Structures are given as structure tokens and as C-alpha cells.
Chain A
Amino acid sequence: MRIHLYGGLACFWYLLVFAVTTLRFNHPGLLPERREPAIQWERATVIPDLTDDLKLGEAVRGDLDLIGWVLPWNLQKTPSGDLRFELVRPGRNYRVTTDRAGGRVSVEERATGAGSAINFMHGSTGGVPGTRFLQLWGLYTDLTTGLVLFLSVSGVVLWWRRARDRRLAAVVVVLGLLVSAALMLRVWIFG
């Protein structure tokens, strides 16, 4: 009972995030993804001499203290040897252009709203490149997944022990599971 109780409390916030994001997937207008106006900024920096464009993009990201994925399919090399790339992460996108001769990097930054940030929290376990902090959320997600599976079983056991009419209890649980499974099979096999 105590494990069920405190395990449930540990899951509470994740379950709320999971439920809200699930509603959002069904109703995208609930928390729409936005493209805020772009903000331009520059920073003086020494651009490393790397031949691999992806590694160069990641090095520039680290130097700018940004986080996110460098999109490998959007790497553009200019005739002067500079690199233009997109960096994306939940909540914000960047378009980065290096200026090797001027020793500067210019960045076009755009916030994408709470919708994209909260989507990440639905089920991300891998974190975001450039930061370790978000791996904590991944750990929490994994912990919650295990706990929810455990709590589903322990909840049914606890209820079974207290149920006055166990036959009815069994019928309710089995029927619920069968109806859900039948619908999933129907969608899978017959589309």
C-alpha cells in the first residue's frame, strides 16, 4: 500500500504532463506551436578549423553555449568556406552563420512557444545535445514508465483484496482489458 501510495505521488506531475500533451496531440489548437519574430544577435568567436561540417556546427553550438540538434541535412557551405546551419531544440530554433574572416558568428533566434517545449516532456528520454540537465527529465520519464506499469498491477491487486464481490471485480478488469485489446487489434489488423 505504501509503495502504491508514494509511487503514485512520484508519478503525479508526469501523469499531468502526459495527459495534457496527449490532449494536445488530439487537439493541436489547444497549445499551438508558434513562430515568434526572429531575434538577431552576433558574437565574436574563434571558429575552429574542422573539415567535418557537422562537427564544426556542434563546436560552434558549444562555443555559443546553445543546446539542440544540428540538422545534418541543412548544412550549407558558402563559397568563402563559412557554414550556415540550423539548430533546433524544444522551445527554440536557431539559424547560425559563421564569419571566419570577421571572427564572428551571427544567429537568428526564434522561440517556438510552450507547445513544442511541453511536447518534449511527453516522452523524451534521450535529453538534448549540449546539456545534461534535460537528462534528468529523461530519467524521470523512465522511472515513471516503470512505476506506472507496477502501479497498474498493484492497484488491481489492492482493489481485488478489498472487493466485496471478487467475481464482479474480475469481470470488470478482464472486460476492460479485452475491449481495449480488441480495439487495438481492430485498428492494427483491419485498419
Chain B
Amino acid sequence: MNLNVLIRRIHLGSAFVLLGFVLMYFITGLVVTHGAWFGEATEQVVRRTEPFPRELSASPDAAEFAIQLRERLGLRGKPSRMEHRKDGSWRVSFAHPGHVTEVTIPADRSPLSLVEKHQGWQRILVGLHRLHGYGGGGLYTLWALLVDVTAVSMIVFAVTGVVLWHRMTRDRRLGWGILSAGFVLTASTLAYLMLRR
């Protein structure tokens, strides 16, 4: 197979892997970076208590405790880290885009207090954009895996794109100019942040 064809196929393949998530990231990114354009998100807060589920086998400091708690309480969302508070209670939140439930577990295992927040569409988009990291159950592990695949595909896509340009073009002055300008801006921004007192 011709090398140009191979590179083009890799470029295309990585583009297809990227397409869905890149569209999502760059559309939801607008809400993250220009929140004011889209207005304030609404938020409905519901507070309630639930009896402590006695059948939990893990202790609050164990990783599986949050997963067990989520199942027993019929909650949804990716669990945060368990937070041990000064008064001896524990707190954990379960979040999925546009929805957060904070659960406080008193030290004496008396009824749990739950605060459920239902947020507007802006927070749903921001939640999709910011969802990352492994753990929290199969769905979130799959999501994290796709985020990794998207990031690696983006590097492959960008590099093969430059290689294709280099191989397809005879007069490369404009291309080198654009690439150099981008490099100077990226390197100087990083250097500015790292070196400026």
C-alpha cells in the first residue's frame, strides 16, 4: 500500500474515532468557557432523610462503600471520594450530568441526610464536558476509556494531518508560517506561566 494512502487512512480512522466526542467536547466547551452567554443554570434542591442501610458490609473508608450505598439507596451517578469530617460523620456525593446527590452519614449511623440537586441544561452540558477519571462503576469506566481513546486519537489525528500536509504540498511556506506561529504562542504561554514571577 502507498504510504500516503496509509497515512490518509490512519488520519481518517482517528477522525472517525474522534468525531462524536470532539463535537461534544467543543460544543459543551463553549458553555464551560463562555457560561455568561448561556445564562444562569436553574437548580432545584430537594432535602430528605433515609434510614441507614444496615445491610452494608463495607466500612465508610473502603472504596466499595460508596458503590454499595448508591445501590442500597437507589441513587445514580459517579461517587466522589468519601470525606471524613471533623464531627466524625462521612460525606459522599453522587454526580451525573445535571444531577448531584450529597449524602451525609452521621457518626452514630442515625438516618442519612440527602441533598438532591437537579440542575438546568447548562450544567448538564458542563457535566458531560467534565466527566472523567476511572472508577465509579462500569458505565463510568467505559466513559473514561473512551476519553483516553479520544485523547490518543486526537494526537494521532493531529500528527498525521501535519504529515499529510507536508507530503501533499510543494510550497510549504504558508503552512510552516502557521505551524510556527502556533508553536511560538503555545511555548511562550507555557514559559510565561512557568517562569514569570
Give A contacts to B, CB under 8 Å: 5-6, 8-20, 22-23, 25-26, 28, 65-67, 89-92, 109, 111, 114, 117-118, 120-121, 123-126, 133-134, 136-137, 140-142, 145, 148-149, 152, 155-156, 159, 172-173, 176-177, 179-181, 183-184, 186-188, 190-191
Contact = CB atoms under 8 A, between A and B. Distances in A.
Contact of B19 (A90, A137, A180): A180
Contact of B134 (A26, A180, A187): A26
Contacts, number: 172
Interface residues of B, number: 67
Nearest to B127: A188
A26 B20 contact: no
Given A26-B151, A145-B30, A149-B27, A183 B183 contact: no
A191 B99 contact: yes
* 7 residue pairs, one from A and one from B, having the closest CB atoms: A180-B20, A191-B76, A191-B96, A117-B193, A19-B154, A13-B182, A91-B193
Nearest to A16: B158
A13 B32 CA distance: 21
A92 B131 CA distance: 26
Contacts of B132: 22, 25-26
B194 A91 contact: yes
A120 B155 contact: no
A134 B192 contact: yes
B142 interface: yes
Nearest to B175: A9
A137 B187 CA distance: 11
A12 B162 contact: yes
Contact of B185 (A111, A136, A159): A136
